[in-house]
Amino acid sequence: MKHLLGILIAAAAGAAGCAGGAWLEGPSDADLPIQPPARGYPTALRPVAASISDEAAAPQSAPARPAPSTAVLPLDPNPPPAAPPKHSQVIDPRPPTPALAVVPPQYQRPPTPTAPALQALPPATPIASSPPSAAAPPQATDEPGLAPIVSASSVRAAAASSADRQPTPVQPPLAVPVAAAPAATTGSVPSSEGRRAEIERLRKEFTAALEADIRERQARNAKDEELPRLEQQLRLAYLLADRLDDAVAAVDSLDPPQQEAYKNLMFGLGVWLSPDEAHRTPLRSAKVLKSLREATADLSMASKLELRNLAFCEKVDSYGWYTEFPRSEFAPKQQVILYVEVENFAAEHKSAAGYETELQGRYEILDASGQIVAERELPLDKEVCRNHRRDYYLWYRIYLPDEIAPGKYRLELSIEDRKAGAKYQGRKFGEGMIEFAIR
């Protein structure tokens, strides 16, 4: 009995062992699905600290054969929050750029035409190294409660693009060879005293050369046209050398009025440049102005007579104060006052009486064709003034011709300065013109 019971127990144990062995083994290849399921399998999010290199290495650690549909995926240490219902807003307190999970290729669903494919960014070449940019936001999926799915090939492409975007070392600018400046020798930069001595030496050489040239020209021809200019330059050289007495010496090649004018001009410049007069500006200015006025008076004698502000007037009070006719239209035999201001006149100095002037006027009346219809010699104006006059004016009372036809005419006035004949080297005149009409 016991033997029979032992046989039965042994047979039952053998049957149970075969059945248990078959149950513990995995399903055969015939029992596995040939095509992947129509819907993807849910996956758990990887931890935030996961890197791209971990995601790229995930497909290589996948099992050789897919697990059966009943297999349970390992739980993530940081499980994501429960998926909200569709069309609801999820507020995730975690950073907005979590790392993406990787799904084996046999369980990936081909992209639909409406879903844009993930494009890899073109490699960039930054000038300086910078931290890697944040991961791209996950693509939307139409499955409620499922995490976004990214293919392993996209992750590999992103990793390769990140590897390509390595900072390019900045090349230093090429050094341009510069010729070395010659070393300064001792004493190459002259001192202030040395420069002044050199300038003084050159100045003396220039003055000596001018003097030699003037002597040579005077010996050859006393009427050389270059002599006046060279002698005036020599006076300027004397002035720059602080030789004021030589600078104000008369220039023999100039006529007497120009000699005096140039002498006064050099004296005024010498006072202006004198270091002794620099601290007395008002006094220096008065001395220079006096010299310039004397030079102006000397040049006025040698200059052409100038007539200004010629006008037909009803009344004349003094220099610059006169009343003109409202219109330059007159009738035959009408009386008018002819007013004119005179400049650059000569004044002969009389030791006892003062300065004497002598001006002789004359006018002509011409028609539109230029024919003279009337002319007249004006009275001689001779005056004596204790000072040299500067505001000289003349006025003449004249009558228009008795027989003159209506039309347009012009009056030409000429004045001769009889005191400037000798100093002016000839007769000295001034001319003016004014238009009028006869109604």
Q: Are 299 and 257 in contact (CB under 8 A)?
A: yes
Residues 421 and 328 in one domain: yes
Residue 96 falls inside a structural domain: no
Q: Are residues 258 and 327 in the same domain?
A: no
- With a pLDDT cut of 70, the percent of the chain lying above it is 57
Tally of domains within the chain? 2
Question: Is 97 part of a structural domain of the chain?
Answer: no
Domain check: are 314 and 207 in the same one?
no
Which runs of E-coded beta strand occur in 235-353? 306-318, 321-324, 329-330, 335-343, 348-350
Q: Does residue 201 sit in the same domain as residue 284?
A: yes
Q: Are residues 348 and 401 in the same domain?
A: yes
Q: In terms of domains, do 317 and 289 share one?
A: no
Tokens of residue 171, six digits: 């090349």
Chosen domain end from 242, 272, 301: 301
* DSSP codes of every residue in 335-394: EEEEEEEEES---EEETTTEEEEEEEEEEEEE-TTS-EEEEEEPPPEEEEESS--SSEEE
Both 274 and 338 in one domain: the answer is no
Which residue range is the domain that position 315 belongs to? 306-438
Q: Do 421 and 345 fall within a single domain?
A: yes
Domain boundary among 268, 301, 334: 301
**Which phi-psi region, left, alpha or beta, contains residue 420 (left: φ > 0; alpha: ψ -120 to 50)?**
alpha
- Residue 64 C-beta-side C-alpha neighbours within 13 Å: 1
The residue type found at 168 is T
Q: Tell me if residue 396 falls in helix, strand or coil.
A: strand
Query: Which residues contact residue 131 at a Cβ distance below 8 angstroms, ignoring those fewer than 6 apart?
Result: none
CATH of the domain at 423: 2.60.40.3880
Task: Give residue for tokens 């400049």.
Answer: 343
What are the C-alpha distances in Å from 37 to residues 32, 113, 306? 11, 20, 121
Helix (H) or strand (E) holding 415: strand 407-417
Query: Does 167 reside within a domain?
Result: no
Domain boundary among 281, 301, 321: 301
The pTM assigned to this predicted structure is 0.52
Q: How confident is the model at residue 20 (pLDDT cuts 50, 70, 90)?
A: very low
Are residues 319 and 220 part of one domain?
A: no
Q: Angle CA(317)–CA(318)–CA(322) in degrees, nearest 5? A: 55
Report the pLDDT value the prediction gives residue 24, as an integer from 0 to 100.
45
Residue of higher predicted confidence among 155 and 417: 417
Q: How confident is the model at residue 347 (pLDDT cuts 50, 70, 90)?
A: confident
Whether residue 279 lies inside any domain: the answer is yes
Q: Tell me what the pLDDT averaged over the chain comes to.
A: 73
Both 319 and 428 in one domain: the answer is yes
Q: Does residue 31 lie in a domain region?
A: no
pLDDT of residue 57: 42
Within a domain: 150 = no
Q: Bridge-partner residues for 384, per DSSP?
A: 356
Mean pLDDT of 392-415: 94
Question: Tell me: the pLDDT tens digits for 41-98?
Answer: 554 444 444 443 444 444 444 444 544 444 444 555 565 555 555 554 555 556 565 5
pLDDT in tens, 148-191: 444 445 445 544 554 455 555 555 554 444 444 444 444 556 68
Residues 295 and 311 both lie in one domain = no
Residue 314 neighbours by CB under 8 Å, 6+ apart: 323, 324, 325, 337
Same domain, 291 and 365: no
Sign of CA dihedral 132, 136, 137, 141: negative
Q: How deeply is 169 buried, as exposed, middle or buried, from its count of CB atoms within 10 A (0-12, 13-18, 19+)?
A: exposed
- For residue 222, the model assigns a pLDDT of 83
